[in-house]
Amino acid sequence: MRFVPQFTDGQEFPHTLGKVVCIGRNYADHAKELDNPIPTEPLLFIKPATSVVDLTKPLDPPFSRGDVHYEVELALLVGETLTHATLDEAERAIVGIGLAMDLTLRDVQTKLKEKGHPWEVCKAFDGACPLSTFLPLSRVPNWNALEFTLEIDGEERQHGEGADMIFAVPTLVAEMSRHFTLEPGDVILTGTPSGVGELVRGSKLRLTLTGGLDVETSVVE
């Protein structure tokens, strides 16, 4: 059954989940920690709807395929169709904000990068995008004031702020709409801050976001 986005206030979203459009290296510190150049234009890729799972359920990625890395990101829910959008149109089309994890098969990704091959098999596998519920935009002060965190076993591992994005939300959404038509039910991931690392079996995770989103989950034993 296709994942259906939900709001934290119980409001129903009238569309099933579409594609997940992502950006790589949208935080300078994260690009540096992986020895990647800081991009001058958005590095975009897509996860299919089949990669999305409920963030509150235990995470069960394919550990048999090598190291699995966590990357926590702000997730934006699209409520209108966008093609070649202006900045104002892009901003108005976002109807909710939540948190997601861009799980990455890092060993696989390293080999793909060495060969210049696409990333789908390390980024788009089933379960690669655990996703939270969404805060209505009325709960969001402004993009730059947003802060989010990831704790693992009680220790903060990642802390991100909207103000630190290389490509701000309206710019990012408008740019994505130039390459891919965005439709109601699509989700946008906005990049991860520094602090990514290996996901370990049995870990307890807590993710928080400005506005009152607080999610706890775990990794299968």
Domain edges within the chain: 20-216
pTM of the model: 0.94
The whole-number pLDDT of residue 31 equals: 61
CA-wise closest residue to 121 among 103, 133, 110, 108: 108
Q: Which residues contact 17 (CB under 8 A, 6 or more apart)?
A: 2, 3, 4, 5, 49, 52, 185, 186, 187
Please check whether residue 34 is in contact with residue 111, taking contact to mean a CB–CB distance below 8 angstroms.
no
The whole-number pLDDT of residue 190 equals: 97
DSSP state of 103: -
Residue spans of beta strands (DSSP E) within the chain: 20-24, 43-47, 52-54, 68-70, 72-78, 94-101, 104-105, 129-131, 135-136, 147-152, 155-161, 187-189, 197-198, 204-209, 213-218
Task: Report mean pLDDT in 10-residue bins for the chain, 221 residues.
Answer: 85 92 89 72 94 97 96 97 97 96 95 90 96 90 91 98 94 97 98 95 97 96 93
Q: Are β-strands 52-54 and 129-131 bridged in parallel, bridged antiparallel, or unpaired?
A: parallel
CATH architecture observed for domain 20-216: Alpha-Beta Complex (3.90)
| Composition of the chain by helix, strand, coil, percent to 5 | 25, 35, 40
